[in-house]
Structure 1
């Protein structure tokens, strides 16, 4: 029996966009046909198949410019984007996607199954970490409106993984990204890496032209400057707002605020390939030395909750684990017994200044038991390069789960073959393979629960906090989607006349 999915398809738009500023917009958010927004993710590239393809800024921009076979809605349910329906064979190995008719790229060229196949091949030929979602898979186009994906082994989460494949025209030349062509709700007017992305409404978007003519995504690294721009009206919307700023913003009659649960967890991987961190006893002792409960309560009383899983509660596969007890005396004794070298600093890397206070607090707690930490705040591009190269001892990320399915987090990042954190456990590999290949939801949940327990008990990383995303916007803006991924959709956004 074939499993058939026919998603409800509203006037979807995966519009979203982030961080940047442009002289073309002049920052004039009083223009009723234009909005200016500033989130938390810098963008160095708008090539969704490049090495930064898994970074939040790139994914956010990609959803505005391009389309995918599927996408998550604001609550995390997988719905159709280019695909109107999809089905799997009884083993969940071969998946057939039926494409929406009449979709064109922004230059008027029809989008066909050949473009999907070419985009898949381009992704797999590059260095994006996203390609591990499709290892050894094959994609064919038996008809202009049909795409068949054959996984190397049964893959019950493939429809969710399809939300990470952005579709570009089949012919992508060297200069393509100077003026990219996509099928998303917006087109690129201008892009300055690390500074600004200016988008204009796509007249040919299949769900209808967006209601605002232009969205400027402005990069404002410092949160204080970002909020000043919001209060002065230079920016219409910000998100990822720290808790210590929310109360004053709520009292501002010109602003609205709302927080939504996300699929993101503060994740601090240990590099288990480093000799001093090979031992689970050492990793657990370091975790025990940090008072995450107090740090979260002090820094994120409204938008954070002490995590009890490597996954957020909104994600399929979530399983609550036993909280780690804070015990610095025991932590120091256990590190000493394990022969830990207190004289050699641990390199803790992170990106984005808003996470500086949190990481500083972690460093402070570790220093209380004599553990030295070199705190390294890196530019996004350098951070990602070093992340993949394992050029760190402890890595901080606000890590999300694409498609709201553990397959794109645990299943992609924690296997021996992934080589993402230096950790390798054959039993974990077995459980993740089982969870990824069975089509029985209950068995998948059970396997992910067992996998989460191994990850938690072995302290592959420290998992301090599950995240809510705080949005704050000027009242003149309405109709955008407060997205659980932190990728707001502006397709139906409107701006009140001044």
Structure 2
């Protein structure tokens, strides 16, 4: 098997964080010991920060943290990243590239079945790939003009229009479902058939997902009888549920809440770095933001260093690149110093229209203080901001339609490879932020096609320099994620992208 190493080495975390929690018995812990063959005991309730709006991993919500979190529990991938960023097989037991990495052959395991007992075949893999491409969701952007074919019942070949050493890592965002599920089939996802460690018992979009072990799972069966994930939007309610025992695991905890939780003897609290960076794209297709000098001046106007120290002293550090340090392709850039007087002067020199109110869109209440701080700093130099907090589904729809001037998101790189971040989101063809530069396109294409890791890092570094210099966005903060969980849980590992795996967790006490 040809090996292209994916960078790792240190623990990571919070991409965008994940989902939420469920209430079983108010005031009573949902962690109940004992052996119950029907799964009535050993129930766990979890709460992150993002709702699960869809279970379809191929559609418009496919790249959202909630959908990714559900996808890894219900479905299988060909390969998946380990906590250190290296790759391991899931449905694929081996993979190899041709000489220039433009063609990859993956051999499937023969014992994998769906939850209805039917075997997972190469036809299912190919059909899933075609469905993902037909729906043209966010993850399809990793495979422009790529094709996949089945060469046997247990082998698939993916061909790229140019060499692509990052294909195995990109496949970590590709989920396999039965071949007969059509692109417009939404009913299937009410209670989907998958080959992951769990199946769906109940699901209410945006509210709750209840999972039980998949009896047909080809791997080691999950020890928990039930995992409930429910959206609790308000932070105070989420943390209260953790303290009372209604919730067993919470992540994405704000810094100011950590000291109190660390004083709770029944809880384990841990903060780990992640693959995520606070990312604030400018819509370069709008007249007011088309000039890189304007975008750079707006960045210069915000005192991100002070904001981070005040709001995220434990989980945030000032970012030095568009991707996090643990990502292959990270290259540190020169900091953008805070200078409001110079920023205001630059905007006036560029003819910026100060009467224009910038639409700054974001999702999730936890980011309100950060957004308010940014808006306040911009107001100090006369720039008006309309902070628009949107529901996740609306946010995603408007993001893709460029219905914003500044877009905030906690952007992770769950593949640990800049190909699925820089290479997917910053090309002219991507049309994700209104920015287009042919030189950048060439660097990203060259980086994606090289099989030499050192060369790829160098090329992504040059690409990052352009993105940083032209202020395609502001990149304020490299993110850490704080987890807190009931000490009775054994085998729980804080995940680098806010996507914890509960299939390996068991309960050792009440």
Query: What TM bracket, shorter-length normalisation?
Result: over 0.9
Q: Which runs of 5+ in 2 are unaligned?
A: 7-16, 34-41
Structure 1 residue 197 displacement after superposition = 0.4
Equivalent position of 1:93 in the other structure: 102
- The alignment partner of 1:54 has SS state of coil
Alignment map for 1:97-136 (pairs within 5 Å) = 97-136=106-145
In structure 2, relative to structure 1, the CA distance for the partners of 1:361 and 1:333 (3 Å cut) is same
In structure 2, relative to structure 1, the CA distance for the partners of 1:443 and 1:194 (3 Å cut) is same
Matched, 1:406 2:453: no
Out of 201, 220, 223, the residue aligned to residue 211 of structure 1 is 223
Contact 1:5 1:85 in 2 (8 A): no
Give deviations 1:344-372, integer Å, cap 9, x for gaps.
Answer: 11000000000111111000100011100
In structure 2, distance between residues paired with 1:30 and 1:303: 28
Contact 1:5 1:87 in 2 (8 A): no
Alignment map for 1:182-261 (pairs within 5 Å) = 182-261=194-273
- The alignment partner of 2:322 has SS state of coil
In structure 2, relative to structure 1, the CA distance for the partners of 1:6 and 1:315 (3 Å cut) is closer
Equivalent position of 1:13 in the other structure: none
- The alignment partner of 1:51 has SS state of coil
Q: TM-score under structure 2 normalisation?
A: 0.93
Equivalent position of 1:170 in the other structure: 179
Cα RMSD after superposing both structures: 1.7
Out of 55, 60, 71, the residue aligned to residue 51 of structure 1 is 60
Out of 320, 330, 333, the residue aligned to residue 342 of structure 2 is 330
In structure 1, distance between residues paired with 2:5 and 2:354: 57
Equivalent position of 2:46 in the other structure: 37
Contact 2:21 2:247 in 1 (8 A): no
Equivalent position of 1:161 in the other structure: 170
In structure 1, distance between residues paired with 2:106 and 2:68: 22
Structure 1 residue 496 displacement after superposition = 2.6
In structure 2, distance between residues paired with 1:282 and 1:48: 37
In structure 2, distance between residues paired with 1:49 and 1:291: 38
In structure 2, distance between residues paired with 1:412 and 1:443: 19
Structure 1 residue 129 displacement after superposition = 1.4
- Displacement over 4 Å in runs of 4+: 4-7, 22-28
In structure 1, distance between residues paired with 2:190 and 2:263: 43
Q: TM-score under structure 1 normalisation?
A: 0.96
Out of 256, 269, 278, the residue aligned to residue 281 of structure 2 is 269
Contact 1:108 1:204 in 2 (8 A): yes
In structure 1, distance between residues paired with 2:283 and 2:4: 40
Q: Which runs of 5+ in 1 are unaligned?
A: 8-15
Equivalent position of 2:20 in the other structure: 19
In structure 2, distance between residues paired with 1:63 and 1:151: 25
Structure 1 residue 123 displacement after superposition = 0.3
In structure 2, distance between residues paired with 1:100 and 1:259: 36
In structure 2, relative to structure 1, the CA distance for the partners of 1:24 and 1:184 (3 Å cut) is farther
In structure 1, distance between residues paired with 2:482 and 2:354: 38
Equivalent position of 2:293 in the other structure: 281
Give deviations 1:296-348, integer Å, cap 9, x for gaps.
Answer: 01111011100000000010000000011000010001101111111111000
Structure 1 residue 84 displacement after superposition = 1.1
In structure 2, relative to structure 1, the CA distance for the partners of 1:70 and 1:479 (3 Å cut) is same
Equivalent position of 1:376 in the other structure: 388
